[in-house]
Amino acid sequence: MAIVVQKYGGSSVANAEKIRNIARRVSESYKKGNKVVVVVSAMGDTTDDLIELANKINPNPEPREMDLLLSTGEIVSSTLLAMALHAAGFRAVALSGPQAGISTDSSFSRARITGIEPRRIIKELDKGNIVIVAGFQGLTVENDIATLGRGGSDTTAVALAASLKAKICEIYTDVEGVYTADPRVVPEARKLDEIGYEEMLEMATSGARVMHHRSVELGQVYNMPILVASSMVDKPGTIIHGGENMEARNKVRGIAHDMDVAKITITGVPDRPGIAAAIFMPLAKAGISVDTIVQNASANNITDLTFTIIKNDVTKAMQIIKPVAKEINAKKCLSDSKLGKVSIIGTGMQNTPGYAAKMFQTLSTQSINIQLITTSEIRITCIIAEDKVKEAVKALHKAFELDKA
């Protein structure tokens, strides 16, 4: 019998009725003869509510206690789903992350899974149980509970699927799959039947909210096929996998966008070794993630340096950067928080010229000014004004004929 791992997000288990509905979906897979392991997130807004409660008591809570607190959310939903399956006449057992054998490092609030010992899960599956695992959590070597941070339950699901040698990891969510662009922006956007790990990774890191890039990476490492589908309607969804897809060659596969982009520019930076480290080390220490870095060609050993961060980090980053700029005798620090980015993604772009030119041409036709450009082998990203992002996505979707099957 094949093992199937399913994951349901917080909105899919937000109340008693939805949990009963998910129990029905889970039992269908079981009735087909699969051994079913289900990973659940916390119900609806539970995690946010717990964070709010904690912040009322301590605006800067210890990550160790915060993780122990937040881990209860997923335990609650796992037990309720097991109870719903019992009520429907199925055998089921709920396991916390530690009970499921999930070990993590001790980086509280953003722990990484260090190993899975699935003995208990296998024992319960062999007894005929559907196994419900509380996502987002594991046990450190010190016997403490750590949570996996953003995308945690997806990561739990893919890691469990890999360790159990499941035939597939099914991620059920509030969208019907991976689209050529965000359907809320581009009504003509098409759902993709399949997509490669690398393309999905670029989509995820470029702003597509479907899955966190961590779990896609994990899927890629273990070559675990991942289905992304709706938890509400019975539709096929999108399979993320590692196989070649002949048809996808020479094609842009999707347009991703992200509104959460801010830019900081330091002008008049003396162009000598060690300057970049002097600027970016203190940002890294403060936990500020820098996305794109662009340095202009130097004139008279003086250059301008620009980098992008998320909007929430601008104030903190400026506080850190201003004294540094003064120290290295730079001229000025400027910030712009009204930016966004748009990306075209596809393995078909690899080593094929013309995609960048077509992208810039399309944006130019719409009178959209490009502020920064970054590329990977299978992605081209342009930083543009926030209020032009949707227009850009629509125009690019049309220009690259993504509305056509």
Residue 125 binds to a copy of itself (criterion: CB under 8 A): no
60-67: long-range pairs with CB below 8 Å, 24+: 63/108, 63/109, 64/108, 64/144, 66/108, 66/109, 67/108, 67/109, 67/111, 67/137, 67/144, 67/145, 67/146, 67/147
Residue 311 binds to a copy of itself (criterion: CB under 8 A): no
The CA-CA-CA angle for residues 356, 357, 360, to 5°, reads: 85
Residue 53 binds to a copy of itself (criterion: CB under 8 A): yes
**DSSP character at residue 34:** -
Contacts to a copy of itself from residues 141-160, by CB under 8 A: 143-145
**Interatomic CA distance for residues 161 and 176, integer angstroms:** 21
Q: For residues 78 and 308, which CB has a smaller minimum distance to a copy of itself in the complex?
A: 78
Alpha carbon of residue 343 to chain centroid? 16
Single residue of 33, 56, 233, 299 touching a copy of itself by CB under 8 A: 56
Using alpha carbons only, how large is the chain's radius of gyration in Å?
23
Q: For residues 2 and 53, which CB has a smaller minimum distance to a copy of itself in the complex?
A: 53
CB of 144 to a copy of itself, least distance (A): 7
Q: For residues 91 and 191, which CB has a smaller minimum distance to a copy of itself in the complex?
A: 91
CB of 11 to a copy of itself, least distance (A): 17
CB of 94 to a copy of itself, least distance (A): 5
Q: For residues 42 and 384, which CB has a smaller minimum distance to a copy of itself in the complex?
A: 42
Residue 370 binds to a copy of itself (criterion: CB under 8 A): no
CB of 82 to a copy of itself, least distance (A): 5
Q: Cβ(148)–Cβ(63) under 8 Å?
A: no
Q: For residues 145 and 195, which CB has a smaller minimum distance to a copy of itself in the complex?
A: 145
Single residue of 37, 38, 93, 133 touching a copy of itself by CB under 8 A: 93
Q: For residues 72 and 376, which CB has a smaller minimum distance to a copy of itself in the complex?
A: 72
**Interatomic CA distance for residues 310 and 312, integer angstroms:** 6
Q: For residues 94 and 261, which CB has a smaller minimum distance to a copy of itself in the complex?
A: 94
Single residue of 14, 61, 122, 245 touching a copy of itself by CB under 8 A: 61
Other residues' Cβ atoms within 10 Å of the Cβ of residue 244: 10
Residue 111 binds to a copy of itself (criterion: CB under 8 A): no
Strands 238-241 and 226-230: antiparallel
Q: In what order do the strands lie in the sheet with 137-139?
A: 113-116, 102-104, 137-139, 145-147
Residue 51 binds to a copy of itself (criterion: CB under 8 A): no
Stretch that binds a copy of itself, among 12-20, 194-202, 239-247, 272-280 (CB under 8 A): 12-20
CB of 113 to a copy of itself, least distance (A): 19
**Interatomic CA distance for residues 373 and 379, integer angstroms:** 11
Residue 25 binds to a copy of itself (criterion: CB under 8 A): no
Place of tokens 């966008």: 257
Residue 58 binds to a copy of itself (criterion: CB under 8 A): yes
**Interatomic CA distance for residues 136 and 157, integer angstroms:** 9
Nearest to 240 by CA among 257, 253, 249: 253
13 by Cβ neighbours in 10 Å (0-12 / 13-18 / 19+) ranks as buried
Q: Give how many residues touch a copy of itself by CB under 8 A.
A: 38
Place of tokens 């890039």: 213
Single residue of 27, 34, 47, 99 touching a copy of itself by CB under 8 A: 99
Residue 120 binds to a copy of itself (criterion: CB under 8 A): yes
Stretch that binds a copy of itself, among 63-71, 150-158, 162-170, 200-208 (CB under 8 A): 63-71
Task: Name the packing angle between helices 389-399 and 355-365 (round to 10°).
Answer: 130
Residue 301 corresponds to which tokens in the numbers above? 């050993």
Residues lying near a copy of itself in the complex (CB under 8 A): 16, 19-20, 50, 53-54, 56-62, 64-66, 68-69, 71-72, 75-76, 78-80, 82-84, 86-87, 93-94, 96, 99, 120, 143-145
